[in-house]
Amino acid sequence: MTSHWSTPVSSTCATILIWTIWSVRHVFRNLDPAHTKKIKRGTSMKKLSTAVAVAVMTFGSLAAQAEDASCSTVKMADPGWSDIGATNAIASVVLEGLGYKAKVDTLAVPIAYGGLKDGKLDVFLGNWMPAQQGFHDKFVATGDVTQLARNLEGTEFTLAVPDYVWDAGVHDFADLNKFADKFDQKIYGIGSGAPANLSLQEIIKKNEFDLGKWKLVESSETAMLAEVNRNVKRKAFVVFLGWTPHPMNVQIKGMHYLKGGEKYFGDTGSVFTLTRKGYAQACPNVGKLLTNLSFTLDMENSIMAEVANNKVSNSATARAWIKANPAVLDTWLGGVKTIDGKDGLAAVKARL
């Protein structure tokens, strides 16, 4: 795959730069002794300073707003996770209020990273760390993908069990194999290729916690939770990948996270916004928004719960949440303009 943009400096910026250089050269030409015999020295220098300042400020102002034509559509990835569905919806509502088009494609995590590297994708809001450390080392640390900003703190992502399994004595990864028969030696994970699944496969391969004979069952988030709920109804032992923020923390009664897996999953983590290399320079206005954009556990849990409980779309729920909590826009839209250079905050509020 090849990138759909060729240079971080847009043609508009180049035009502005050429105009600025011409303006400054024009000022110098007019200050040539042959053209300034009747102009006082102080006046000439004052005009020079003023003209140069105006030219530079004009270039800085316009260049900050100028974006490549491809910036009008922001291409984002959704791995099929409820939390990223919520944050993509929030970002889309704001982007559309600014006059941009948001295009969200459902892509597995490895495909999303590859798309960012190859320039076919612009943004991924789901860089869970440290769960995605392997992908970070392969793509971000090498400079092929840019980690733009932290968008969420205080996350948790590891194996979990329902209350009756916890009460039976399963509190740690090391406790699982003590009840191998009851678990049918199965761990329920998410979609194939997900970093968390890769960590679990490594645990099994290395026989960590005596789990060498266990099997990882991979499926979509929805399918995994359906299987978990079937087991919970029967009070059958089940262990699965859990994380917060997510409605499962309320829907699965007495859900508990296991200790012992910190080597692979960390303790508490963060989520970061990734972009293709050079995106914030090619699209500075969108880049500013993405840098500003941050979420909270309560915000995401509220939106996801509404979607799950009332069967409404992420988009409608995100729009309603922002409308009910407009103060977040003051931070998100600081220094952000509409696609045509107008007041971003006023435009988004009007759109809502």
CA angle 172, 177, 178 (to 5 degrees): 90
Quick: pLDDT tens for 298-310. Answer: 999 999 999 988 9
Quick: pLDDT tens for 117-176. Answer: 999 999 999 999 999 999 999 999 999 999 999 999 999 999 999 999 999 999 999 999
pLDDT higher than 90, residue 12 = no
Q: What is the dihedral of CA 297, 300, 304, 306, to 10 degrees?
A: 100
Phi first, then psi, for residue 213 (nearest 5°) are -100, 5
In 11-60, the DSSP E strands lie at none
Residue pair 191/80 in contact (Cβ under 8 Å)? The answer is yes
What predicted TM-score, i.e. pTM, was given to this entire model?
Answer: 0.74
Mean pLDDT rounded to a whole number for the chain: 86
- Residue 123 to residues 38, 68, 110, 117, 318, Cα–Cα distance (Å): 58, 16, 14, 11, 18
Quick: pLDDT tens for 15-70. Answer: 444 444 444 455 445 544 444 444 444 544 454 444 444 444 444 444 444 577 88
